[in-house]
Structure 1
Amino acid sequence: MIMNTDAAAEHTITLKDGRRMGYAVFGDPAGRPCLFVHGYASSRWMAGWAFPGALLHRQSIRLISVDRPGYGLSTPHPTAGFPSWADDAAELIDHLGLGRVAVIGLSMGAGPALALAATHPGLVTTTAVLSGMPPVSPGERWSPDSFGDALYWRLARRAPWLLRRLCSAAAAAMASAARGDADALIARVERGLPEADLRVFRELLGGDARAAFATDVRESCRQGGAAMAHDLRQYLRPWGFDPAGVPGPVHLWHGLEDPKVPVALARCLAGRLANGTSSFVHGGHFAPFSQLDRILGTVGTAEDPPLEK
Structure 2
Amino acid sequence: MFKRILVILLIGFLAWAYQATQPPPPKICGSPGGPPITAPRIKLRDGRHLAYMEHGVPKENAKYKIILVHGFGSSRHEGSIATAKIVEELGAYFVSFDKPGYGESDPDPKRTAKSIALDIEELADQLGLGSKFYVLGYSMGGQAVWGCPKYIPHRLAGLMLIAPVVNYWWPSFPANLSKEAYYQQFPQDQWALRVAHYTPWLTYWWNTQKLFPASSVIAGKPKFCQQDWEIISKFAGRKSNKAYVTQQGEFESIHRDMMIGFGSSEFDPMDIKNPFPDNEASVHLWQGDEDGLVPVTLQRYIAGRLPWIHYHELPGAGHLFPHADGMSEVILKAFLVGEKQEF
TM-score normalized with structure 1 length: 0.77
Report the equivalent of 1:125: 157
Could you list the per-position Cα deviations for residues 220-270 of structure 1 after superposition, in whole angstroms to 9, with x for gaps in the alignment?
Answer: 211221122222221332233645324132111111011111111111221
Is this contact kept in 1: 2:224–2:292, CA < 8 A? no
Deviation at 1:37, TM superposition (A): 0.6
Q: Equivalences for 1:25-44 in 2 at 5 Å?
A: 25-29=54-58, 30-31=61-62, 32-44=64-76
Name the CA distance, whole Å, in 1 between partners of 2:273 and 2:297: 21
Report the equivalent of 1:181: none
Name the CA distance, whole Å, in 1 between partners of 2:222 and 2:322: 21
Identity rate of aligned residues, in percent?
27
Q: 1:77 aligns with which of 93, 104, 108?
A: 108
Could you list the per-position Cα deviations for residues 177-210 of structure 1 after superposition, in whole angstroms to 9, with x for gaps in the alignment?
Answer: xxxxxxxxxxx9699743210223344x399xx3
Deviation at 1:60, TM superposition (A): 2.5
Name the CA distance, whole Å, in 1 between partners of 2:209 and 2:77: 22
Name the CA distance, whole Å, in 1 between partners of 2:247 and 2:66: 25
Describe the SS at the equivalent of 1:86: helix
Is this contact kept in 2: 1:153–1:232, CA < 8 A? yes
Report the equivalent of 2:255: 229
Q: Which amino acid aligns with 1:239?
A: E
Report the equivalent of 1:87: 118
**Using a 3 Å threshold, how does the CA distance of structure 1 residues 95 and 169 change in structure 2: closer, same or farther?**
farther
Name the CA distance, whole Å, in 1 between partners of 2:145 and 2:228: 23
Q: 2:189 aligns with which of 149, 171, 181?
A: 149
Describe the SS at the equivalent of 2:103: coil
**Using a 3 Å threshold, how does the CA distance of structure 1 residues 61 and 169 change in structure 2: closer, same or farther?**
farther
Correspondence 1:239 to 2:266: yes
Report the equivalent of 1:96: 127
**Using a 3 Å threshold, how does the CA distance of structure 1 residues 241 and 192 change in structure 2: closer, same or farther?**
closer
| CA-based RMSD | 2.9
Deviation at 1:12, TM superposition (A): 0.7
Q: Which amino acid aligns with 1:64?
A: V
Is this contact kept in 1: 2:197–2:264, CA < 8 A? no
Name the CA distance, whole Å, in 1 between partners of 2:206 and 2:42: 31
Name the CA distance, whole Å, in 2 between partners of 1:157 and 1:22: 29
Higher RCO (C-alpha 8 Å, min separation 6): 1
Deviation at 1:298, TM superposition (A): 2.8
Q: 2:230 aligns with which of 177, 188, 199?
A: 199
Unmatched 5+ stretches in structure 2: 1-37, 211-218, 277-281
**Using a 3 Å threshold, how does the CA distance of structure 1 residues 164 and 89 change in structure 2: closer, same or farther?**
same
Could you list the per-position Cα deviations for residues 75-95 of structure 1 after superposition, in whole angstroms to 9, with x for gaps in the alignment?
Answer: 222323111211111111011
Deviation at 1:147, TM superposition (A): 4.5
Report the equivalent of 1:113: 145
As a proportion of its length, which structure holds more helix? 1
How many correspondences in the alignment? Answer: 274
Report the equivalent of 1:17: 46
